[in-house]
Structure 1
Amino acid sequence: MENVSIPGFAPPVCNDSVDFYSLTSVNGTHPNCIPPSGFYFYTDLYIILPVIYSVICAVGLTGNTAVIYVILKAPRMKTVTNMFILNLAIADDLFTLVLPINIAEHLLQYWPFGEVLCKVILSIDHYNIFSSIYFLTVMSIDRYLVVLATVSSKRMPYRTYRAAKIISLCVWILVILIVSPYTVFAGVYERPNDGRKSCVLSFPSPEGSWITTSRIYTLILGFAIPVSTICILYTMMLYKLRNMRLNSNAKALDKAKKKVTIMVFIVLAVCLFCWTPFHLSTIVALTTDLRNTPFLIGISYFITSLSYANSCLNPFLYAFLDDSFRKAFKKMSECRPA
């Protein structure tokens, strides 16, 4: 059986040949190549990684919880766009909640938490890949429809807060279905030579074909399709706005709609900046056979940390770009007399 572990931990250093994808992907690494503890101390990664992930966890949990609280409590924040932002924050919060368990496994260098929690943690790790980009895809579709309706001077009676709730639920169901194969293959693997346990994806024979399939599966469903959809939507959106400026003196979007569109675009750009290296590593793994070097290992950890960091950046983007969010948060954080 081929066994693949949690992302960002224990890169294979037991031989000269290394699978670059396994260093950076949520599908992790081969437990037969779990490095000795001296490797961590030699590279200082044993200490540095828990610190980085702890910062991501603390900042992400605080920021996304604040976003959830403001949107749920402030009446004026209950908009269609904010419903999608709420679900994006929930997905990020869910991921940051399990980071301490990943950190514990890294420090202990084995998995002590059992089979059920292993499946839960690996599933949530994979939710993090798909949920962010799918909610951003939905937000991009929503922005395109808003721009299209504004340019055509049409109303959108179907664009309601209730409809946004239903769409968000459908996105969650879709992501659960996409991630379900990884949940099935997740389990605790015990190495025969020393009994060390790892939380891994255990693929049946032929292992190589299963691993290649899982890479292509993640690349297509988690990156190629949603990003292509987003790029097409924004290209069409810019084309329509350009024609609107050429053919009419009217503004294509009013001030409020323009700000929301810009905010969604920037959140999307940051997401792609954080996740594109992760998915490019999949392409590298499918097309090359890299040798294991300290430099490559350093790159793998950087890519993993960058993808994790996306879960704590969005709240700051909302605070800087969304006046209504900033005002609602300030109002709700003010001390009120009893």
Structure 2
Amino acid sequence: MEQFNSSLVPFNISSNPGEPSPTSLVSIRLVPVVVLSICFLLGVPGNIAVIILKPNWQHLSSLSQSLMLNLAISDLICLLPLPLWIYTLLYSWTLGLVACKLLTYFMFCSIYSSLLTVTLLSVQRYLQVVNLQNCLDQAGRRRLIVLLWLVTVILSIPALVIRQVIEEQHGTSCTDSHAPPSQLVAVLLSECLVGFVSISVVAFSYIGVQRKVNQAAFFNNPQTARLITSIIVTFFVLWMPYYITNVLGVSAILQKNDGLWMFCLKSWNAVSGLVFVISCLNPFLYAFAFKNMCTVCKEREH
């Protein structure tokens, strides 16, 4: 079977099996380059604006403010290295093994931090709107953020272990194409576990919030319903293709199915860019549009 190339990437920057021509490589990578460029141009200013302006934060609880700030910082860290990855997609990796491992590691730390922060925000919204609970003092909030980053640091360790700089026909790539299949299966399954749990928690929490809003005869705000729907749909649509491809990758490895594995390689190049779209959209979904959800909390308290 062809040498495996995992999804543990910001995106795959190695050549696909079969060694396509340089012209073909450029055309294959053009769409991810355009998507990533747009994410950088929109997402970086958007997250900086959230950190500096703190829009509508006067309506948020202290815990929500801490999580919103952590989300913006995580997304900003995720998006800032995009010009380097874009250059690498178009040309070649030139920074050596240490930079390859560290940049990928920090990228995964920021992605996991963003994913877990969104999950915690959904739980916090559920508890505040449905159960009217405003828990955690200042020390508790700090411990929660520290715990969140500790989990992300642990979850991102595989990037340090299996990431390598590989010489290929069309240049040097920062990839994990030479990792043993057993490691790839473990990594893909761990990613899927975290992802599916997070998606389930977010969906359950916001559906619970929506039901409580609909039950409140004194409060009926279509904007809040649209916001909740957009959060769930965006989170599901942008994350699920990545995790579904991971599941197919695990199946391809276990079955030693070359055709399915080739399909996964091509799919990862497409769906992994959606991860950065999420970091680009988060400021608009959470920071700039959360005022309506806070109004629900205030109405529920009276």
Same-fold status (TM-score > 0.5): yes
Q: Distance in 2 between matches of 1:195 and 1:295?
A: 21
- After TM superposition, give the deviation of residue 318 of structure 1 in Å: 4.3
Task: Look at both structures and tell me which one has the larger radius of gyration over its CA atoms.
Answer: 1
Q: Distance in 2 between matches of 1:78 and 1:63?
A: 22
Question: Paired residue for 1:65?
Answer: 48
2:116/2:148 contact within 8 Å kept: yes
TM-score by length of 2: 0.76
2:199/2:235 contact within 8 Å kept: no
Counterpart pick for 1:225 among 178, 194, 197: 197
Deviations 1:65-99 (A, max 9, x none): 11111129976767322321221111111111111
Deviations 1:96-115 (A, max 9, x none): 1111111111122x211122
1:61/1:312 contact within 8 Å kept: yes
Paired amino acid for 1:40: L
Paired amino acid for 1:111: W
Alpha-carbon distance change, 172 to 284 in structure 1, aligned in 2, over 3 angstroms: same
Deviations 1:147-195 (A, max 9, x none): 3433xxxx63x3445533432222111111111232233232345xx69
- After TM superposition, give the deviation of residue 116 of structure 1 in Å: 2.3
- After TM superposition, give the deviation of residue 58 of structure 1 in Å: 1.3
| Structure 1 unpaired stretches of 5+ | 15-32, 246-250, 325-338
Question: Paired residue for 1:137?
Answer: 119
Does residue 54 (structure 1) correspond to residue 37 (structure 2)? The answer is: yes
1:53/1:305 contact within 8 Å kept: yes
Q: CA RMSD in A?
A: 3.9
Q: Distance in 1 between matches of 2:270 and 2:147?
A: 33
- After TM superposition, give the deviation of residue 52 of structure 1 in Å: 2.6
Q: Distance in 2 between matches of 1:308 and 1:203?
A: 25
Deviates more, 1:127-136 or 1:58-67: 127-136
Does residue 267 (structure 1) correspond to residue 244 (structure 2)? The answer is: no
Counterpart pick for 2:176 among 182, 194, 201: 201
Paired amino acid for 1:139: L
Counterpart pick for 2:150 among 173, 194, 198: 173
Question: Paired residue for 1:334?
Answer: none
Q: Distance in 1 between matches of 2:223 and 2:138?
A: 19
Does residue 36 (structure 1) correspond to residue 8 (structure 2)? The answer is: no
Deviates more, 1:140-149 or 1:71-80: 71-80
Alpha-carbon distance change, 162 to 145 in structure 1, aligned in 2, over 3 angstroms: same
Does residue 149 (structure 1) correspond to residue 145 (structure 2)? The answer is: no
- After TM superposition, give the deviation of residue 211 of structure 1 in Å: 1.3
Q: Distance in 1 between matches of 2:249 and 2:30?
A: 28
Q: Distance in 1 between matches of 2:246 and 2:100?
A: 23
Aligned length: 285
Q: Distance in 1 between matches of 2:40 and 2:109?
A: 16
Fraction of identical pairs, as percent = 21
1:118/1:188 contact within 8 Å kept: yes
Does residue 120 (structure 1) correspond to residue 96 (structure 2)? The answer is: no
Alpha-carbon distance change, 269 to 165 in structure 1, aligned in 2, over 3 angstroms: farther
Question: Bigger relative contact order, structure 1 or 2, given CA contacts below 8 A and separation 6+?
Answer: 2
Look up the SS of the partner of 1:54 in the other structure: helix
| Structure 2 unpaired stretches of 5+ | 293-302
- After TM superposition, give the deviation of residue 270 of structure 1 in Å: 1.5
Paired amino acid for 2:271: I
TM-score by length of 1: 0.69
Alpha-carbon distance change, 70 to 77 in structure 1, aligned in 2, over 3 angstroms: farther
Question: Paired residue for 1:28?
Answer: none
